[in-house]
């Protein structure tokens, strides 16, 4: 987020807003962070797959009941229908997260046509 914010601060519209006399706080919170958050939003949607894979490790180590422990036990028992169902649910969840991130991108970024 910091790198994205620093990149946006070097854009021409920030210089223009400074020249017009806008307050630095208004520029930062009203314009810069909104534009800097767009790449982070996309990254959060993509990271949902890694979060799901991390659940397998955490739930196995700490014996939490959940999808990760179910996948681990299904692998040990060679229960392929259970694995297929678990991966299907995780796939739908990741696709929904990426789709939601795309929808939020189109709402936050006026350059994207709906």
Integer Cα distance of 36 and 69 in angstroms: 37
Integer Cα distance of 94 and 99 in angstroms: 9
For the chain, the structural domain boundaries read 2-108
Q: How confident is the model at residue 24 (pLDDT cuts 50, 70, 90)?
A: confident
- Model pTM score: 0.70
Q: How confident is the model at residue 3 (pLDDT cuts 50, 70, 90)?
A: confident
Q: What pLDDT is stored for residue 114 in this prediction?
A: 62
Q: Judge contact between 74 and 84, C-beta under 8 A.
A: no
Does the pLDDT value for residue 88 go beyond 90?
yes
Kindly report, residue by residue over 35-57, the tens digit of the pLDDT: 888 888 888 888 887 887 788 88
DSSP one-letter code for 29? I
* Angle, alpha carbons 39-92-94 (nearest 5°): 25
Element holding 55 (H helix, E strand): helix 33-62
Specify the long-range contacts of residues 6-15, CB closer than 8 Å, at least 24 apart. Answer: 7/36, 8/32, 8/35, 8/36, 11/35
- In the chain, what percentage of residues exceed pLDDT 70? 98
Integer Cα distance of 87 and 107 in angstroms: 30
- In the chain, what percentage of residues exceed pLDDT 90? 22
């Amino acid at each position: 987020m910091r790198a994205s914010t620093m990149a946006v601060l070097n854009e021409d519209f920030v210089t223009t807003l400074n020249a017009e006399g806008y307050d630095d706080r208004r520029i930062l919170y009203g314009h810069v962070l909104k534009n800097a958050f767009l790449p982070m939003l996309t990254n959060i949607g993509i990271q949902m797959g890694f979060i799901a894979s991390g659940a397998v490790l955490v739930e196995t180590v700490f014996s939490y009941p959940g999808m990760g422990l179910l996948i681990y036990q299904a692998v040990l028992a060679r229960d392929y229908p259970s694995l297929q169902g678990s991966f299907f649910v995780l796939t739908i969840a990741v696709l929904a997260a990426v789709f939601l991130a795309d929808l939020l991108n189109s709402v936050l970024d006026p350059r994207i046509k709906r």
